[in-house]
Structure 1
Amino acid sequence: MRQAYAHRAVLVLESGADERAPGGAITAALCGDAAHEPPCPLAAHHTAVERHDDELRLRILFAAAPDRVDEIRRRIDTALAAGRFIGPDGVLSRWQAVESGCDRLAPQERPHARRLLR
């Protein structure tokens, strides 16, 4: 039975980098391509981004079977540690991963998590 999980990350974007690029990198890592038809083959997911000066804070919510969680987190960490992604427009964005790891679902994230579980 699938459950909802949260992952957090903090990145420092290179000047001019697209804020959406880390989310694209995560989607490519989890789904094989940043642009794909639903459903996500490995784990339904959503990446929220908040910018604070040159820092980008990501919250990744995903729904998966408990035996797949470590693999999903590893894929997310690997995608972010790579520090680069070429978007669909062909533009390369770069960043430095400062931290990445598991987190608890916040109470306000529970409705979104339930949607991912459907």
Structure 2
Amino acid sequence: MRQGFAHQAVLDMAPDDDSRAPGAAITTVLCGRWDHEPPCPVAPHHTSEERSGDEVRLRILFATEPHLEERVRQDIDRALARGELVGPDGRTSRWRLLGSRPVEPSAQESEHLARLTRA
């Protein structure tokens, strides 16, 4: 049975790079491609980003079986460590991973995580 989890990462990213690109990179690693049809094969997920200058904070929510949690977290880190993604417009966005760690889901995220566990 799937459970919901949260992960947080901080990136250094130039203001003219697309802050959505790291989320697409995560989707590519977890699902095989960033523009796939649902459902996600291993871990339904959602990535949100918040930019402040060159710093981009990511919040990744995902649902998976507990025995796959560590694999999904490693896949997230692997995607972010690559540091770049070519978008659909052919433009390459680049970033540097400053930190990544598991976090507790917030109360506000519980409904979203419930939807992900049912996906």
Normalising by the smaller structure, the TM-score range is over 0.9
Q: Distance in 2 between matches of 1:85 and 1:62?
A: 21
Q: Distance in 2 between matches of 1:6 and 1:104?
A: 6
Q: Which amino acid counterpart does residue 7 of structure 1 have in structure 2? A: H
Q: Which runs of 5+ in 2 are unaligned?
A: none
The equivalent residue for 1:65 is 65
Q: Which stretch shows the higher mean deviation, 97-106 or 12-21?
A: 12-21
Q: TM-score, normalised by structure 2?
A: 0.96
Q: Does residue 104 of structure 2 align to residue 104 of structure 1?
A: yes
Q: Which amino acid counterpart does residue 64 of structure 1 have in structure 2? A: T
The equivalent residue for 2:34 is 34
How far apart are 1:117 and its partner, in Å? 1.1
**For 1:54-95, what per-residue CA distance to the aligned partner results, in whole angstroms no more than 9, with x for missing partners?**
110000000000111111000100110111111122110000
Identity of aligned residues (%): 53
Q: Does residue 78 of structure 2 align to residue 78 of structure 1?
A: yes
The equivalent residue for 1:93 is 93
Q: Distance in 2 between matches of 1:92 and 1:79?
A: 15
Q: Distance in 1 between matches of 2:59 and 2:97?
A: 14
Query: How many aligned positions are there?
Result: 118
What's the C-alpha RMSD, in Å, of the aligned pairs? 0.8
Q: Which runs of 5+ in 1 are unaligned?
A: none
